[in-house]
Amino acid sequence: MILKMLSCLIILTVVLHTCLSELDLLHPSQPCTKAKDQNAYDTFLHRHLRKDTPTDPRKLREWQKFINKINTWDRPIQSFLPFREAKRVIAVCSSGGKMYEGNLCISKDSLTFFTVEINDRKQVKRVKPCTTVKDQNAYDTFLHRHLRKDNPTDPRKLREWQKFINKINTWDRPIQSFLPFREAKRVIAVCSSGGKMYGGNLCISKKPLTFFTVEINNRKQVKRVKVQEQHVILGCDKIKNKCLPIHFEANLNDAIPDNNKPDCSKAMANTSFIPFEELLYV
């Protein structure tokens, strides 16, 4: 039983820009204002920056013992920064970071960390694209937020974008991305033959895609619309036995696909083939 449980444990080493947001949750206007919870920093250290964190993602038994030791089975996704990077991590809140939004800071340089995912049976689980997702409306949410027939196509016409955001009522999202509907077939294909496995349930497009990024200010106004071209990273999961995009992940580091990794179609062995004309009506 123990060996079976351990075989499901995968630690993903991901290179991302890391935001430290747990020091000051009650003052969203800017970083480094006084926090009501004076133990928040100790909580951050306990959860994310520890001397006793394992350092080899291949040694599954060590990670299993570690999660048992710190008893954090109640947290389905956990991230741990290597303690050797402690100075760089702490510096994100000063000279090593830029203001991001609210009380968040984003690191100037990429940091490496480990992500552990836990299932509801208190076991560390294997995560890959095209596994069953609990939210069966996740694909519809993705379409509503990112792939629509009615979004404007000219980034210069801010008035049209203003009306559009009013219509779909997404003012609560300060940065929003919209993929042109004419590219729908290529977007959906990222979760199959058009994408490479990236990490967790994420797939990255083999070829760059063009999309619009809309920036919203705190007065509910469209501040800027820009056209971007990047390899697109999408969360892909199984919904009604079909592998579909459910999440748009910002490609902050201009990542490109690794040709040594499998196509996302490899994760679809137990899912249905979907004719394109059916994709938007699942």
> Based on the domain organization, do 51 and 160 belong to the same domain?
no
pTM, two decimals, is 0.57
The number of domains in the chain is: 2
The CA-atom distances, in angstroms, between 109 and each of 35, 82, 92, 254 are 26, 15, 9, 13
Closest by Cα among 163, 233, 248, 153 to 199 = 233
264/29 Cα distance (integer angstroms): 40
Is 193 within a domain?
Answer: yes
Give CA–CA dist 20/107, Å, rounded: 9
Looking up residue 86, the CATH number of its domain turns out to be 3.10.130
Q: What's the CATH number where 259 sits?
A: 3.10.130.10
Q: Which residue has the higher pLDDT, 223 or 17?
A: 223
Question: Residue 100's Cα: distance from chain center in Å?
Answer: 16
273 shares a domain with 142: yes
Give domain status of residue 129, yes or no: no
The predicted-structure confidence for 142-166, as pLDDT tens digits, reads as follows 999 999 999 999 999 999 999 999 9
Mark whether 69 and 153 lie in a shared domain.
Answer: no
pLDDT for position 58: 58
102 within a domain of the structure (yes/no): yes
Residue partners of 163: CB distance under 8 A and separation at least 6: none
**Same domain assignment for residues 142 and 105:** no
Say whether both 100 and 146 belong to one domain: no
- Give the pLDDT of residue 73: 84
Whether pLDDT at 37 is above 90: no
Which of 71, 87, 117 is a domain's end point? Answer: 117
Answer yes or no: do 156 and 204 share one domain: yes
How many Å from the N-terminal Cα to the C-terminal Cα in the chain?
A: 38
The pLDDT of residue 200 is: 77
Q: Which pLDDT band holds residue 21 (cuts at 50, 70, 90)? A: very low
Q: Specify if 200 maps to a domain.
A: yes
Residue 256 lies in a domain: yes
Closest CA to 13 of 138, 158, 134, 114: 114
- Name the 3-class secondary structure at 144: helix
- Do the domain assignments include residue 124? no
pLDDT at residue 229 in the model: 97
Kindly report which listed range (2-11, 127-136, 183-192, 210-219) carries the lowest average pLDDT score: 2-11
128 in any annotated domain:
no
- Say how many C-beta atoms besides its own lie within 10 A of residue 217's C-beta: 11
pLDDT tens profile 243-261? 899 989 889 889 999 999 8
Mean pLDDT (whole number) for 33-52? 87
In a domain, 103, yes or no: yes
Q: Are residues 154 and 85 in the same domain?
A: no
pLDDT of 133 > 80? The answer is no
Cβ(216)–Cβ(272) below 8 Å: no
| Contact predicate 236/203, CB 8 Å | yes
Distance of CA 256 to the CA centre of its chain: 16
% of the chain exceeding 70 in pLDDT: 79
Question: Buried (b) or exposed (e) across 2-22, using 16+ Cβ within 10 A?
Answer: eeebeeebbbbebebbbebeb
Average pLDDT of every residue of the chain? 80
DSSP 78-130: EEE--GGGHHHHHHTTTTTEEEEETTEEEESS-EEEEEEEB-TTS-B----TT
Does residue 234 have a pLDDT over 90?
A: yes
Residue 17, pLDDT score: 37
Indicate if 82 and 147 belong to the same structural domain.
no
Query: Does one domain contain both 204 and 104?
Result: no
- pLDDT (tens digit per residue) in 107-120: 887 777 887 877 66
Boundaries of domain holding 112: 2-117
More confident residue, 170 or 128: 170
Q: Domain check: are 269 and 144 in the same one?
A: yes
